[in-house]
Amino acid sequence: MTPFRPGWVHAAHPDALGSPRLAWLPETYGEDGRFRTKRLLAGAGQGYAVLAEDRWSGGDVVIKGMWWSRSDLDDPRSVHRALGEQQKQRDQGLRAARQAAQLTQQCPVVISVESQPSPSLLADGGQGGYGGPGGGEVPYESFLVQQFIGHRNGVSRTLQEEIDERAASHRRFKADQLLDLAEQLCNTLAALHADRHHGDEHSKGWIHADIKPENILVLGPPARYVLIDYDAAVQIGDRIRTTTSAYAPPAAEGTDEPSELAPASERFDIYMLGATLAHAAALRRLTDRQARELYAEDFDVSAPARRFIASLRYGPILTNALTTCLSAKKFRLATVDRVRTDLARARSATALESALRTLGEPR
């Protein structure tokens, strides 16, 4: 493997104002250099992830950092605002991940949060007033260190990679495999959405807000699915700031912004769950037209897309669960527990169908 060399990496897409997003990957993370960078893992989201070696244990970890806008790096007045926004987003993701991990193992364990003088500001050579001659003290930047989920030869594949592989070989998920995926994701979401009570104190649950095949790791066999990337998570009732439009409730006419961003509710995650499951079932993402048809309140308008879901032949109960998850908010199931009830019914029907098929086979 090629030795890692510190340097700039760039996000695939600019920020909302069109400014490029980038970050400097240092040789080590943590003020004591505990984590040695090995390579970039991912950089398609709101932040990037690197694979690093934990010098204390000798094992591997994943370190997540946030992108910097080029315009923020060039303007010292924007640095502290950008760091504040990064910290807020990081804290929200950290709290959501910890809540999910309390009740399910389908979530990467948070090892630590490391703070150090911002590598990107130091590497910027004083362009924005830091790190150069006469520059001020470099502000600290925080990085989330999480459990590495993979094997010695590399990271686990994502559900998107699994879907692409199946599509290339025309191998659709069987009904029980699709149910495994749905049930495991529901278990994670139930833990995430749950309210917390500590004596007289009460805290609301969290919305993941970015469920999609790229954010689901596939382990096994037997298949185990791990929902990752909690950076977009918000508490129930707050406004969702970041999501992936292709899997979110369709935008209203005349706008590109997904629907149902505020107040954030469990139904938003349930929609994204349905969009992800439909993608896995069809081995391709629903078209924008199909998503809008399913989201329509008019039964006749939604009929073509419902017929498409039915044509996948996953049985009436699972088909109904999928279309209900993708329906308009007022028709959608309100909680993950209700989705799990439908999945349990579909599981029973699948098991019964399998048993009847076996009984009908010649001996």
CATH number of the domain within which 11 lies = 3.30.200.20
- Tokens in use for 110? 């948070």
> 205 and 243 in one domain?
yes
Q: Bridge partners of 116?
A: 141
**Could you report the per-residue pLDDT of 318-344, keeping only the tens digit for each?**
999 999 999 999 999 999 999 999 999
| Cα distance between residue 47 and residue 22, in whole Å | 9
How many independent structural domains does the chain possess?
2
Same domain, 308 and 193: yes
Work out the angle between the directed axes of helices 316-325 and 266-282 (0-180°, nearest 10). 130
Are 194 and 241 in the same domain?
yes
Q: Are residues 78 and 196 in the same domain?
A: no
Three-state SS string across the chain, please? Answer: CCCCCCEEEECCCCCCCCCCEEEEECCEECCCCCEEEEEEEECCCCEEEEEEEECCCCCEEEEEEECEEHHHHHCHHHHHHHHHHHHHHHHHHHHHHHHHHHHCCCCCCEEEEEEEECHHHHHCCCCCCECCCCCECCCEEEEEEEECCEECCEECCEHHHHHHHHHHHCCCCCHHHHHHHHHHHHHHHHHHHCCEEECCEEECCEECCCCCHHHEEEECCCCEEEECCCCCCEECCCCCCCCCHHHCCCCCCCCCCCCCCCCCCHHHHHHHHHHHHHHHHHCCCCCHHHHHHHHCCCHHHHHHHHHHHHHCCCCHHHHHHHHHHCCCHHHCCCCHHHHHHHHHHHHHHHHHHHHHHHHHCCC
Give the residue-averaged pLDDT of 106-124: 87
Band (pLDDT 50/70/90 cuts) for residue 214 is: very high
User: Whole-number mean pLDDT of the chain?
Assistant: 88
Q: For residue 105, what pLDDT band results from cuts at 50, 70 and 90? A: low
For residues 160 and 83, membership in a common domain is answered with no
CA distance linking residue 216 with residue 158, whole number of Å: 6
Q: Which of 149, 174, 197 is the last residue of a domain?
A: 149
pLDDT range class, residue 298, cuts 50, 70, 90: very high
Q: Which domain holds residue 290?
A: 156-360
Residues 132 and 164 in one domain: no
Q: Choose the final residue of a domain: 97, 114, 149.
A: 149
Residue type for 165, please?
E
Structural domain includes residue 2: no
In a domain? residue 112: yes
Cα angle value 283/288/289 (rounded, 5°): 105
Taking 60 as the threshold, does the pLDDT of residue 134 lie above it?
Answer: no
Q: What is the pLDDT of residues 135-179, one digit of tens each?
A: 568 899 999 998 888 765 566 789 999 999 999 999 999 999 999
Q: Which residues of 192-220 are buried (b: 16+ CB within 10 A; e: fewer)?
A: bbbeeeeeeeeeebbbbbbbbbbbbbbee
Beta strand pairing call for 150-151 and 154-155: antiparallel
* Cα–Cα distance measured from residue 300 to residue 284, given in angstroms and rounded to the nearest whole number: 24
4-18, 187-201, 306-320: range with lowest mean pLDDT: 187-201
Indicate if 143 and 180 belong to the same structural domain: no
Q: Are residues 287 and 323 in the same domain?
A: yes
Q: Are residues 278 and 319 in the same domain?
A: yes
Most confident of 95-99, 198-202, 204-208: 204-208
Residues 13 and 144 in one domain: yes
Q: Quote the pLDDT of residue 135.
A: 55
**198 vs 120, which has greater pLDDT?**
120
Question: Does 48 or 43 have the greater pLDDT score?
Answer: 48
> 133, 149, 165: which is the final residue of a domain?
149
CATH of the domain at 300: 1.10.510.10
